């Protein structure tokens, strides 16, 4: 009895005091599922090990963020955690399943998704939206906020279409099965039976006695939410960023995904080829003959110096290693900056200049 008392005391002590997972995500206990999802996205993106390969502290933060999301995004685990804390998850028989942090992360940022869905309810169709980004965005990385108007379940009836649960009754036409059976004689001794959705209850098996006063029985409403789209360094043109289950809500189905497909706006000077950057530079005839020292201001504002002390012919290419685009997923690795030179010839020469060039070049 004493052991039981000690256990209960410890359990009750954590009932209303354990907010660690909420604190990790910077959220109150009243946070909505969409708030939890958004907080995870921001923190996981900011602390991902690929962005900080040598930062052990960032790695630990990323692990804690993923652990917090793994619990708070699960309705049953969150309910137990809210009541009994971490100990409650163990003592109520909810095993803390092992999870792959990258699996959870990829399901948010377009990597392919984690294990199977938790239930087998149908999922809404995905919606693809083109999102234009600049070469600077893809070089530096950026968070883009997109305002979304979407269909959500009615907050009053929670998608039933009825004013109260008591206003939902069994369909008398189909007996609550949602289907109707038609029998047809197709020949001597042969009867054909066909089943189709009940046309009275639209296949739900239920009828609404009194429609919801908020949605008028439509079961849905319209709401706005801000989506944070994280543009990671080096993402290729056409890359798809998947916002899992952020599509329209409909009764009886899981919201579909929102897919942002990146399109790169043309840059005034640079052209991207895989992870390399192509740059055209025009130099004078004099520079092409005697050499030059120049610098180029890169996409993040740092200067890239380059020089040459030999003759430069039209179309000559100079390769500067490591000054191209970051490799997506491995941002510390970069492609090359490839500079192609164009020679600016004078429109005309004076007679004196012609003689001077003839004397100079005849000696070479």
| Extended strands (E) in the chain | 127-133, 142-153, 168-170, 179-187, 190-197, 206-208, 220-231, 240-243, 258-264, 270-273, 276-284, 292-297, 303-308, 317-320, 326-327, 330-334, 337-344
d(C-alpha 221, C-alpha 132), whole Å: 29
* 232 within some domain: no
Final residue of a domain: which of 78, 94, 116? 116
Give the count of domains, the chain.
2
158: left (phi over 0), alpha (psi -120 to 50) or beta: left
* 99 within some domain: yes
44: left (phi over 0), alpha (psi -120 to 50) or beta: alpha
- Is the confidence at residue 161, as pLDDT, over 60? yes
* 347 within some domain: yes
Percent of the chain with pLDDT over 70: 87
Q: What pTM was computed for the model?
A: 0.67
- Is the confidence at residue 302, as pLDDT, over 90? yes
Reported confidence tier of residue 240, pLDDT bands at 50, 70, 90: very high
Final residue of a domain: which of 116, 151, 184? 116
- Say whether 228 sits in a helix, a strand or coil: strand
Q: What is the mean pLDDT of the chain?
A: 84
- Say which CATH number the domain at 275 has: 2.60.260.20
* 209 within some domain: no
Q: Kindly report, residue by residue over 263-289, the tens digit of the pLDDT.
A: 999 999 999 999 999 999 999 999 999
Contact of 21 with 91, CB cutoff 8 Å: no
Contact of 325 with 138, CB cutoff 8 Å: yes
- Say which CATH number the domain at 84 has: 1.10.287.110
* 234 within some domain: no
* 34 within some domain: yes
- Is the confidence at residue 16, as pLDDT, over 60? no
- Is the confidence at residue 111, as pLDDT, over 60? no
Q: What is the pLDDT of residue 246?
A: 87
* 235 within some domain: no
Reported confidence tier of residue 105, pLDDT bands at 50, 70, 90: low
Mean pLDDT for the stretch of residues 170-188: 84
Q: Which residues pair with 223 in a beta bridge?
A: 150
Reported confidence tier of residue 360, pLDDT bands at 50, 70, 90: confident
d(C-alpha 281, C-alpha 85), whole Å: 63
* Weakest mean pLDDT among 116-120, 159-163, 220-224: 116-120
Tokens of 136: 């600077």
Contact of 198 with 180, CB cutoff 8 Å: yes
- Angle of helix 2-13 relative to helix 75-91, nearest 10 degrees, comes to 140
Reported confidence tier of residue 136, pLDDT bands at 50, 70, 90: very high
* 175 within some domain: no
Q: Kindly report, residue by residue over 208-219, the tens digit of the pLDDT.
A: 999 999 999 999
b/e map of 338-362 (b: 16 or more CB within 10 Å)? bbebebeeeeeeeeeeeeeeeeeee
Reported confidence tier of residue 7, pLDDT bands at 50, 70, 90: very low
Contact of 135 with 272, CB cutoff 8 Å: yes
How many Cβ atoms sit within 10 Å of the Cβ of residue 71?
20
Q: What is the pLDDT of residue 108?
A: 57
Ranges 113-122, 152-161, 304-313, most confident = 304-313
Q: What is the DSSP string of 89-140?
A: HHHTT-------HHHHHHHHHTS---S--SS-S-BPPPEEEEEEE-HHHHHH
Q: Kindly report, residue by residue over 317-340, the tens digit of the pLDDT.
A: 999 999 999 999 888 899 999 999
Which residue, 173, 130, 281, 150, is CA-closest to 225? 150
Final residue of a domain: which of 96, 116, 136? 116
Q: Kindly report, residue by residue over 282-300, the tens digit of the pLDDT.
A: 999 999 999 999 999 999 9
Domain residues for the domain of 112 are 11-116
């Amino acid at each position: 009895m004493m052991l039981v008392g000690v256990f209960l005391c410890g359990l009750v002590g954590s009932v209303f005091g354990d907010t660690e997972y909420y604190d990790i995500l910077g959220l109150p206990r009243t946070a909505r599922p969409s708030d939890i999802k958004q907080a995870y996205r921001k923190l996981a993106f900011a602390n991902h090990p690929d962005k900080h390969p040598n930062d052990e502290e960032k790695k630990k933060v990323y692990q804690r963020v993923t652990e917090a999301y793994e619990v708070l995004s699960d309705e049953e685990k969150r309910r137990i955690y809210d009541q009994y804390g971490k100990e409650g998850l163990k003592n109520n028989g909810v095993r803390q399943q092992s999870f792959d942090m990258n699996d959870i992360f990829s399901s948010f940022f377009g990597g392919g998704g984690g294990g199977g869905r938790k239930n087998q309810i149908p999922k809404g169709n995905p919606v693809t939206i083109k999102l234009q980004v600049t070469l600077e965005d893809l070089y530096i990385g950026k968070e883009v906020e997109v305002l979304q108007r979407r269909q959500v379940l009615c907050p009053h009836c929670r998608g039933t279409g009825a004013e109260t649960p008591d206003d939902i009754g069994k369909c008398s036409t189909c007996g609550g099965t949602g289907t109707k059976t038609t029998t047809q004689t197709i020949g001597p001794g042969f009867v054909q039976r066909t089943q189709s959705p009940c046309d009275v209850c639209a296949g739900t098996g239920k009828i609404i006695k009194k429609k919801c006063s908020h949605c008028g029985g439509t079961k849905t409403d319209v709401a706005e939410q801000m989506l944070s789209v994280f543009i990671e360094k080096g993402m290729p043109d056409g890359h798809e960023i998947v916002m899992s289950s952020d599509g329209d809500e409909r009764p009886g189905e899981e919201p579909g995904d929102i897919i942002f497909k990146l399109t790169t706006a043309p840059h005034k000077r640079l052209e991207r080829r895989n992870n390399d950057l192509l740059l055209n530079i025009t130099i004078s005839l004099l520079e092409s003959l005697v050499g030059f020292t120049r610098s180029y201001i890169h996409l993040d504002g740092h200067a890239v110096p380059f020089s040459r002390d030999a003759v430069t012919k039209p179309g000559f290419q100079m390769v500067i290693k490591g000054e191209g685009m970051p490799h997506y997923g491995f941002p510390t690795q970069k492609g090359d900056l490839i500079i192609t030179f164009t020679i600016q010839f004078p429109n005309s020469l004076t007679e004196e200049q012609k003689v001077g060039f003839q004397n100079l070049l005849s000696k070479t």
